[in-house]
Amino acid sequence: MKSFQFNYQSILEARRSEEKSSEQAFAAIVTRRSAIENELVRNRHYLESNRHLARSQLTGSIDIEVLRSYAGQSVQVMRHIRSLLVEMSEVHGAMEAAKERWIGCRRSRRSIECLRDRAHEKWRRRRRRLEIREQDDLASMRTSRELQA
């Protein structure tokens, strides 16, 4: 009996490829989200240190230009943080869409694999029945020869 061949193997390979590309797209979005989160943390630390420096300038003689520069830097960082938060919300939306696409691709691949597994099991049962039938024929022929002898 010939070896098992799945009729829809090319479709299965296409589904695997599609799943892999959707997984890579999802991973890229997750990487971008992590980068944004790290940048937000860095900016938060910068703001905290900037506030600490500004507060330390409030003792003794006060240099208004230094305080103004700290305030200006803080405003710029806050604007940057707002833009990062907007980008983060866009990334979360894209991440949800990419995740849904990836899950859909996995589901499609698994359905084809289920068909393959059923077909393979059917082929195995057929092959086993054929082997049993051949063994029965050989046993019958041997018994027949023994009786004739």
Q: What is the pLDDT of residues 5-55, one digit of tens each?
A: 999 999 999 999 999 999 999 999 999 999 999 999 999 999 999 888 888
Domain-located, residue 140: no
Per DSSP, the three-state class of 50 is: helix
What is the pLDDT at residue 149? 73
Instruction: Establish if 71 belongs to a structural domain.
Output: yes
Q: Which amino acid belongs to residue 49?
A: S
pLDDT tens column, 67-77? 888 889 999 99
Domain count, the chain: 1
Segments forming the whole domain that contains residue 19 = 10-112
17 within domain boundaries: yes
pLDDT at 46: 93
The pLDDT score that the predictor gives to residue 2 is 87
Q: How far apart are CA 77 and CA 71, in angstroms?
A: 10
**21 assigned to some structural domain:** yes
Which letter does DSSP use for residue 138 in this model? Answer: H
Q: Is 120 inside any structural domain?
A: no
1 domain-assigned: no
pTM (2 d.p.) = 0.75
Q: Which residue has the higher pLDDT, 63 or 47?
A: 47
Is 145 inside a domain boundary?
no
Query: Given the structure tokens 């990062």, which residue do they identify?
Result: 84
Determine contact, residues 102/26, Cβ cutoff 8 Å: yes
Asked if residue 134 is part of any domain, the answer here is: no
CA distance 124 to 77: 67
